Structure formats: structure tokens, C-alpha cells
Amino acid sequence: MGEVKLFFGPNHPGMHGNFSVHMYVEGDTVEKARPLPGFLHRGFEKLMERRLWYQNLALIPRICVPEPDINEACYAMAVEKIAKIDVPERAQWIRMIVLELARIASHLMSFPGIGGTIGLYTSSFWGVSDRDRILDIFESLTGARVYHMYIIPGGVRKDLTPKIQDLIFNTLNYIEERLGEYETLIFKNRIVHTRLKGIALLDKETALELGVTGVGLRATGVPYDIRKVDSYLFYDKVDFEVPTATEGDAYARVYLKYLEIYQSIKIIRQCLEKMPEGKINVPISEGNALRYRVPKGQAYVHIESTRGEYGYYMVSDGGEKPYRVAVRGASYPQTFIGIEKYLPGTRIEDVPIWLSTMDVCAPEVDR
């Protein structure tokens, strides 16, 4: 039997977003793989150059749907860096809470979601269901469940009320309790061990060479986390650890995500304790939002997303719109080079495991 060309995605239940992989297979083994992005055709970066500074708030969360707040924070922080704006302290603590909640929400969809790929559907249902509780918090805080449009240049849009703080507190307790059950269901499960251990291996040297960050890199033993190595907001004022592993396989990556949820809960609790009263935002410019202007300058801002290093390089020509915006999508290296380099030699059924554990986010690649 000769080489056969197969399409994995864009309309495949195991595919993440509108993305496609062209596989050339020999029997059950992938011989060659080509990533094929471009099904979204949104052109976020160019669209941003045609919108006012403030209007982009409605666009940027769409770049990575499971984790919209990362984009909001990156955009806001880049504007603030160019415009040299001091964000109120309370707003910075609130941002940390939002970002960590977003991390939990994303991980809750991601690590139990591996069950959808390998046949352990209970974990997927649990994950989505528990994630909904985080979305309830977002709804109370930001007025929306997915596209929050909450973190703005200069601060955040609405204050964190005591009622919402109670909701966060109670939800965190619930999630923490549930994590034990996840461990039993997923990480002590024979199916998971059989399907993930030793699969989709990535070694440290190659990960560094490709520019893979996040759990993909940390699963190879490198404790690289921007919250620690180039701290932003008040991450240097809270106590947390960066879980790492040395196995470099799919199982290690999934388990690291699980462990990170504990750390996020720990961070949020500290934020709720340390957060002072005060203002929640300052205008980025004089006048109204239709006439905000950012002084000439450029900035690169990077923060730690669930997928790794997420970055915005922005240039302002002093006008009412960004002159140039370039997004460093966190899942870009493992999506492009990783697929070409690492899928050959794997079996067909292991392809979605790579994509899932490496957190490929299609619009973030397609931007």
C-alpha cells in the first residue's frame, strides 16, 4: 500500500478550531505532515490598525477564544507602556485575578478535554461543566461569559464588588475540591496512561530551538514562566510555584496544566487579600474615547498564557489608531514547526493528542 493523503480538520471533532493538517500516511503511521492555517481569514492585526485604540477592545478577545483576557491584558499593557501610564494598584490586582481565573477556565477545558480525544468523555463533560462556574464569575464581573472586553488600557472597566469576591471565593473552594476527583478520574486512569505516556514527545533542546513555551517547555524540565522570569502586574508580590516535569510527553503536559490550577487558586486568594481600595482605571489620553491618542513609540509586552508566551508588539505614530500591531501567538511554534517536525512517525490517532496537549489555538495562528 502506498502513501495516502489525509486531511485532519478543519471539520474534525478532534481538531481545535478552524485549522487543518495535511497528513501523508503509510498504513497507520504519519509519514509527512503539513499545517494548513488560514480558514479563519480574520486578519486581526490589520483590522486593529483601522480601529480606534478603544474600539480594538471588541476585536482582541477573538484572537484566542478560550483565553480572551490574555489578549486584552497584552494590548492594554502595551498601550500603557507606550503612553507611560501608571495603572491604579487596585486595577492591577483585579487584572491578576481575571488572568488567573482565565487560566483556570482554559485549563479546565484543556486537560479534561483530552478525554474527548482518547475516549474518556466523562472528563470532558466535567471540565466544561466546572469551567462554566468560572464563566459565571466573569459574567458577574464583566457582564459577559466569553468575550469579556474588561481589561482596558488604563485599568479595568468595572470594580470588583464584595458580592463578586464572595462568588470567586466560593467557586475556588469548589474547584479545589473537585481537583481531587479529576486526579482519580484522569491521572490514575489506565486509558490515559496507555494513550498519553511516552506519546508526542518533545525534548528540551528541540523545544528551546523551536521556541516552544508554556507547559510544552516546562514538561521538558525548563522552569520558564514569564510571571517569574519577567514579572508583570504584581506577580512578584505573590507566592506561587511553577510546576515542571522532565518526561516531555503528552501526559506530563496534561498533568502540569492540572497542577497549575492549584497555583492559580493560590494566587487569586492572595490577590483578594492584598487588593487595596481605590480607582480602577485612568484615561489613556485626554478627552473622550473617540479621541484617545497614544504618543509616538513602540513596545513589546509579553505575558504567560496557558499556551506559553503571549506577546504584543505595538507601534504608535501618535495618532488615534495603532500604527502596527503584531501578535506573538503562544501556540504558534508548536503549531507550525512542531507539526511538520514531530508528527512524522506518530500514529494517526496520536495526532490530536499533540494538537490538544500543545494547546493549538487556530485563530491565534491565523491572525
Partner 1 sequence: MANKSIPKKEFFAPIKAWKYIFKKPVTIKVPYVKREAAERYRGFHINDWNECIGCGTCAKICPTDAIRMVEVDDLPHEYGKKPQRPVIDYGRCSFCAMCVDICTTGSLKMTREYVHVSPEPEDFIFAPTEKGIHGIEDVPVGWIRDEGSDLLELERVEMEMIEGEGRSKSFIEYVKGYSKEQAMHEAARCVECALCTDRCPQHMQIPEYIKAIWRDDLTDALKWLLKGNEENNMLGANPFSAVCGRVCTHKCEEACSLGNRGEAIAIRWLKRYIVDNVPEYDKVLEARPENKGKKVAIVGSGPAGLSAAYFLATMGYDVEVFESLSRPGGVMRYGIPSYRLPDEALDKDIAFIQALGVKIHVGVSVGKDIPLQKLKNEFDAVFVSTGFTLGRSTGIPGTEHEDVIQALPLLREIRDYLRGEGPKPKIPKSLVVIGGGNVAMDVARSMARLQIMEYGKVDVKVTSLERTYEEMPADMDEIEEGAEEGVKFYPGWGPVRIVIKNDKVRGIELKKCLQVFDENRRFNPKFDENERQTLEAEMVVEAIGQAPDYSYLPEDLKEKLEFVRGRILTNEYRQTSVKWLFAGGDIVNGPDIIHGVADGYWAARGIDEFLTKGVK
Residues that bind partner 1 (CB under 8 A): 51-52, 54-59, 125-126, 129-130, 136, 139-144, 147, 149, 155-159, 178, 183-185, 187-190, 192-193, 223, 241-245, 247, 251-252, 255, 259, 262-263, 280-281, 283, 285-291, 293
Q: Whose Cβ is closer to partner 1: residue 182's or residue 332's?
A: 182
* Minimum CB–partner distance for residue 330 and partner 1 (Å): 21
CA angle 167, 187, 349 (to 5 degrees): 110
| Cα 305 from Cα 215, distance rounded (Å) | 10
| Least distance between partner 1 and beta carbon 349 (Å) | 19
Nearer to partner 1, 19 or 150 (CB): 150
Nearer to partner 1, 242 or 337 (CB): 242
Residue 308 is placed in which grid cell?
506559553
Q: Pinpoint the alpha helices (H) of the chain.
A: 44-48, 68-83, 89-110, 114-118, 121-142, 162-182, 190-196, 204-210, 215-218, 226-229, 250-274, 332-342, 351-357, 362-366
| Minimum distance, C-beta of residue 136 to partner 1, in the bound complex (Å) | 7
Burial class (CB in 10 A: 0-12, 13-18, 19+), 325: buried
Amino acid at 36: L
- Shortest distance in whole angstroms from residue 218 CB to partner 1: 9
The smaller minimum CB distance to partner 1, of residues 185 and 337, is found at: 185
Nearer to partner 1, 131 or 328 (CB): 131
DSSP state of 275: P
- Taking the complex as a whole, the smallest distance from the CB of residue 30 to partner 1 amounts, in Å, to 26
DSSP state of 344: T
Nearest in space to 314 (alpha carbons), one of 288, 284, 341: 284
Q: How far apart are CB 3 and partner 1 at their closest, in Å?
A: 36
- Is residue 248 within 8 A of residue 202, CB to CB? The reply is yes
Q: What backbone phi and psi angles, to 5 degrees, belong to 330? A: -70, -30
Whole-number Å distance between alpha carbons of 23 and 32: 6
**Rounded to the nearest whole angstrom, what is the least distance from the CB of residue 162 to partner 1 in the complex?**
13
Cell of 169: 471565593
| Minimum distance of partner 1 from residue 289's CB (angstroms) | 4
Task: Please say which residue, 57 or 238, places its beta carbon nearer to partner 1.
Answer: 57
Which is closer to partner 1, CB of 179 or CB of 315? Answer: 179
Is 23 or 137 the residue whose CB approaches partner 1 more closely? 137
Q: Closest separation between CB of residue 354 and partner 1, Å?
A: 19
Q: What are phi and psi of 271, to 5 degrees?
A: -60, -45
User: How far are the Cα atoms of 18, 219, 350, 354, 355 from residue 247, in angstroms, in the given order?
Assistant: 30, 6, 17, 15, 18
Q: Which is nearer to partner 1, 166 or 183 (CB)?
A: 183
The identity of residue 82, as a single letter, is: I
